[in-house]
Amino acid sequence: MNVNMPSADQISSVRGEGFFLNRDTGLFSARVVTKNGVLSADQMRVLTQAAQTYGNGTLTLTIRMNIEIPSIAFDDIRSFQELIGTVGLKSGGTGARVRPIVACKGSICIYGLIDTMRLATELYERFGEGYKDVVLPHKLKSALGGCPNNCAKPDTNDLGIVGQRVHHLNIENCRGCENCGMVLACPMKAASIIEDKISIDRDLCNNCGRCVESCYFDVVEGYTDCLKVFVGGRWGKTVRRGTPLDRLYSLEEIHDVMEKAILLYKSEGLPGERFGQTCERLGMIKVNELLDGDDLLDRKDTILNDSNK
């Protein structure tokens, strides 16, 4: 079909809403946010309808677990948004803002230690939607992994969160079994029998929780599920592995940690600077201090209302 090339103002006006100009066509791709990588059958049905009605009948998957529908005319964008809105979907997830969160399938995976689908939804609704009008120095990407297998590659994101399971041991119950269940279960080879007692090398242990139910004599008396947080990761032209924060955080604490990270980036990041560069410039001692304290939350209103940032 014949399509008039949209103006520069038209292209700019919808980019922040998740619409990208397709090369040499005058048509747009719509990026549809999934919140946690999960879509219902009804949502998929409506997306298919939208692709057939306004696009070219195809849907593509992004590497960050969202959906893109190509070949949408500028004049059809509002009708497209209204249609997908009937099943609770929105276009977006672009620009120098908090981006949609990538989460692994830890909620149903046999190795998953936390409910990743639920937590990803909570974090996206609070920060992806709640902070959608907050302009940052650059994009802020987050990823959530349900266990140390790191399928979602959390430590290559600006903010990475990884499920952990820390066991509580009662060494007095250990009988020094020749075929120790904990030693056999440990994929990291962190568990060993030393002087007839179980010993855990904390430098090797990654808190995967595989050993929690493996002892035959109840050496593991319980466990705590928590989260390891990486900051400043990056994947692209420049690669930086995220730096782990000094301690583990509870499921209840992670909301505040993420909010502090956003506020830190908003207040201290330079224009065009990725979060990893901000962390390196400030130094991890300072970053840990700020993310573990309350100063950023106390200054939240001031930071968010600073028109110069």
Please state whether the predicted TM-score (pTM) of the whole model is above 0.85: yes
Question: Could you tell me the sign of the dihedral formed by the alpha carbons of 194, 200, 205, 208, in that order?
Answer: positive
Alpha-carbon gap, residue 302 to 289, rounded angstroms: 19
Question: Residues 104-149: pLDDT tens digits?
Answer: 999 999 999 999 999 999 999 999 999 999 999 999 999 999 999 9
Q: Is the pLDDT of residue 282 over 70?
A: yes
pLDDT at site 308: 58
Question: Residues 27-39: pLDDT tens digits?
Answer: 999 999 999 999 9
Confidence of residue 192 (pLDDT cuts 50, 70, 90): very high
Name every residue whose Cβ is closer than 8 Å to that of residue 5 and which is 6 or more positions away in sequence: 26
Question: Residues 79-113: pLDDT tens digits?
Answer: 999 999 999 999 998 889 999 999 999 999 999 99
pLDDT at site 24: 86
Alpha-carbon gap, residue 183 to 180, rounded angstroms: 5
Confidence of residue 216 (pLDDT cuts 50, 70, 90): confident
> Domains of the chain (ranges plus CATH)?
8-91 (3.90.480.20), 98-164+226-304 (3.30.413.10), 171-218 (3.30.70.20)
Alpha-carbon gap, residue 205 to 188, rounded angstroms: 6
What contacts 24+ positions apart, CB below 8 Å, involve 85-89? 86/46, 87/40, 87/42, 87/43, 87/46, 88/43, 89/32, 89/33, 89/34, 89/43, 89/46, 89/47
Structure tokens that stand for 216 in this block: 């035959």
Write down the H helix ranges in the chain.
8-15, 41-54, 77-85, 116-123, 181-185, 254-268, 275-282, 284-292, 295-298, 300-304
